[in-house]
Structure 1
Amino acid sequence: MPVSTVSIPVGQWFTSAEGVRWWFDSGSFALDFAYTGAMGGNPAWERLHAPDDLTTWLRDRFPVAVGTARSRDLFDAISLRDAIGRMAFAAARGDDVRAQDIDLVNLYAATPDIPPVLAGGSRQAGRSVQTVGQALSTIARDAVDLFDQANADRIRECSGDCGIVYLDTSRAATRRWCSMQRCGNRAKVRAHRARARKADRAAA
């Protein structure tokens, strides 16, 4: 698979409608960003209600200082985020990706991103605080990696009924669930109950 443009840990916590927290490894930093919104029609997952929410999310994720988001930055972020989300669902379902969404990702990817930095130097190179625009460019470049043809068969929808999309980064490409804590465990419970019912019928 292509090498990611960012070396940022992937994955984030979600809370179910029942109040249970579970860990979702999307497999991609760009997909993590897409899931700050109502991906799959779940409005409870929306995290970017105001510019401060965007600032907090970016500062929590990037290993460098990121500036304060403004209203315009929030508009740009949501536009990019939603384009990545639509592209992910289209890719997972084998549908055509909208040219407008590709253009939007390419537009942000073409702007200056957050440059990689080696620790241990004696001088400050470049900005000490990166702009929100640079952060969005970095996310867009990761999206370019995500939707590379090499990943065409690895962008998938969870085999459960949740509709969550992820990038399968497993070596054998055998991942089936958004999370073993969530849909994977539910499937195991259903399979166990089905076996128990079958055994009961056989014993009757």
Structure 2
Amino acid sequence: MRHATGPVRPTGQWFTSRDGHRWWFDSGAQALDFAYTGGMGDGRSAWELMHGASDLASWFEGRFDEVTRDVTDREFSDALGLRGAIARAVTAVSRGAAPDGEDVDVINLFAATPDIPPALEGGTRQAGRTRARVGQAMSELAREAVDLLGDDGRERIRECAAADCQIVFYDESRSNNRRWCSMQRCGNRAKVRAHRAKTA
């Protein structure tokens, strides 16, 4: 998913399960990828990738080329607040509930701040700052979360169909029929179970 005027941003990231299995999870949206840097707190899939400001800088570096690597402790704290609000809001929506009002306020607050402005390449002059701040990238994530959680987006937010998985994703498929968090993970396990059931 992307902001109407912004560039296409890559989505997805590698995770390692508790049994040591490495797998690729494409959440379908940058805001959800960001939420999953902390495992969305569900206990069964919890992983923490953000231990300090340098981790936040590294995560943004792979997704927002324009963003400076200088991240303050305050920005790191703000990022964790936004991440938690997005995580709780999309989890609520995936379960058919409304997001908590305080989480909505946090997302709206970040969405109201300046984001990374679009820029056309090929000119001879640089308009404004050459590097964006982390806060501007967080604004982009918050604006995407607004789109995800709005009326047009929320019907595509869902939990993985596997009974032992609660991972939430945004279904970008044209047919809107994605069922699994990852075919490498839950999709394959479901196929194996179905095959065993047929041959039993």
TM-score normalised to structure 1 length: 0.91
Say whether 1:182 aligns with 2:185: yes
Structure with greater Cα Rg: 1
Q: 1:137 aligns with which of 136, 139, 154?
A: 139
Out of 141, 145, 168, which is 1:165 matched to? 168
What residue is the counterpart of 2:71 in the other structure?
Answer: 69
| Cα deviation digits, residues 30-89 of structure 1 (max 9, x gap) | 001101113222575211111111111111111313241111111100000000000011
Q: How does 1:49-128 map to 2 (within 5 A)?
A: 49-128=51-130
Q: Any gaps of 5 or more consecutive residues in structure 2?
A: none
- C-alpha distance 4-45 of structure 1, shift in aligned 2 (>3 A): farther
35-44 vs 183-192, which deviates more? Answer: 35-44
Report the Cα offset of residue 122 of structure 1.
1.5
Q: Which residue matches 2:30?
A: 29
**Paired-residue identity, %:** 56
**Cα distance change on mapping 1:60 and 1:3 into 2, 3 Å:** closer
Residue 157 (structure 2) aligns with: 155
Question: Structure 1 residue 25: deviation in Å?
Answer: 1.1
Paired amino acid for 2:165: C
Q: Which residue in 2 is equivalent to 1:195?
A: 198
User: Quick one: distance in 2 between partners of 1:187 and 1:168?
Assistant: 19
Contact 2:45–2:167 (8 Å) recurs in 1? no
Tell me if structure 2 keeps the 8 A contact 1:88–1:155. yes
Q: Is the 8 A contact 1:108 1:137 kept in 2?
A: yes
Q: Is the partner of 1:35 in helix, strand or coil?
A: helix
Query: Is the 1:112–1:137 contact (alpha carbons within 8 Å) kept by the matching residues of 2?
Result: yes
User: With structure 2 as the length reference, what TM-score do the two structures score?
Assistant: 0.93
Q: Cα gap change, 1:109/1:96 in structure 2, threshold over 3 Å: closer, same or farther?
A: same
Partner of 1:200: none
Give the match's secondary structure for 1:153.
Answer: helix
Offset of residue 178 of structure 1 = 0.2
Stretch deviating more after TM superposition (43-52 or 153-162): 43-52
Count of matched residue positions in the alignment of Structure 1 and Structure 2 = 197
State how far apart, in whole Å, the 1-side matches of 2:44 and 2:132 are: 31
Q: 1:91-135, CA deviations, whole angstroms, 9 ceiling, x for partnerless residues? A: 000012101001100000101111112222211111111111111
